């Protein structure tokens, strides 16, 4: 698989993001709200690079189904979200593509009456974005290609890759062969 962003580049950038977030919130209690499932690897690394009084929470959002590589209907499950009233919240996702997922999440989180809501992602497909805002923190801007690894999946696989790879048509064929036996 073609590597778009190496493990080392990711690690370096995530540490920078952690420093940036620590400076912005500087001593203020923060809740980082990870979006399941794609953000889990970034979440684990970023929280260890962030030095503020920190709570970690999870919310579920899904717009891709199985082997689709284009988004479907957005569904959000906020059952796991703790009390966020009066807290600074940073929503953390793997990738900001059209921005519709993040827009839906922000709308939902506002019901919890937080003090502030900001957004962070590892990857931003800026050419594809259709919403009128951008992520407050992002690791890398990337072109319009379907990527996997470092939390991002294709058909629920490849999340464990330590790098960001591009799923090319040959990789898709390979995957299909493996799954179909
Ligand atoms: P958006 O709503 O911004 O269009 O899409 C965001 C969601 O779509 C992300 O949380 C992620 O699950 C999924 N997504 C968008 N682009 C990609 C991609 O290139 N690879 C993978 N694996 N997921 C993507
Ligand atoms: Mg996702």
Closest Cα to atom 19 of ligand 1: 146
Closest Cα to atom 17 of ligand 1: 146
Widest distance between CA atoms in the chain: 53
- Look up the pTM and report it: 0.95
For residues 26 and 153, the answer to whether their CB atoms sit within 8 Å is no
Burial class (CB in 10 A: 0-12, 13-18, 19+), 12: exposed
Dump pLDDT digits (tens) for 28-78. Answer: 999 999 999 999 999 999 999 999 999 999 999 988 666 777 667 899 999
What pLDDT is stored for residue 2 in this prediction?
96
CATH code for the domain defined by 2-180: 3.40.50.2020
User: Catalytic residue numbers?
Assistant: 97
**Ligand in closest contact with the CA of 95:** 1
Q: How many Å lie between the centroid of ligand 2 and the Cα of residue 163?
A: 17
Location of structure tokens 């059209």: 98
């Amino acid at each position: 698989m073609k590597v778009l962003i190496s493990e080392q580049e990711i690690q370096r950038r995530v540490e920078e993001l952690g420093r940036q977030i620590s400076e912005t919130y500087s001593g203020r209690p923060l809740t980082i709200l990870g979006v399941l499932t794609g953000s889990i690897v970034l979440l684990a690394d970023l929280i260890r690079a962030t030095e503020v009084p920190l709570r970690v929470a999870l919310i579920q959002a899904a717009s891709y189904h199985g082997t689709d590589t284009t988004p479907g209907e957005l569904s959000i499950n906020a059952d796991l979200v703790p009390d966020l009233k009066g807290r600074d919240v940073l929503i953390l996702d793997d990738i900001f593509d059209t921005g519709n997922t993040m827009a839906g999440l922000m709308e939902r989180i506002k019901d919890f009456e937080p003090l502030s809501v900001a957004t962070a992602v590892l990857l931003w497909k800026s050419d594809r974005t259709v919403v009128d805002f951008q992520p407050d923190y992002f690791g890398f801007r990337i072109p319009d290609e379907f990527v996997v690894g470092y939390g991002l999946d294709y058909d629920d696989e490849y999340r464990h890759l330590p790098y960001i790879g591009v799923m090319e048509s040959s990789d898709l064929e390979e995957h299909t062969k493996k799954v179909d036996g």
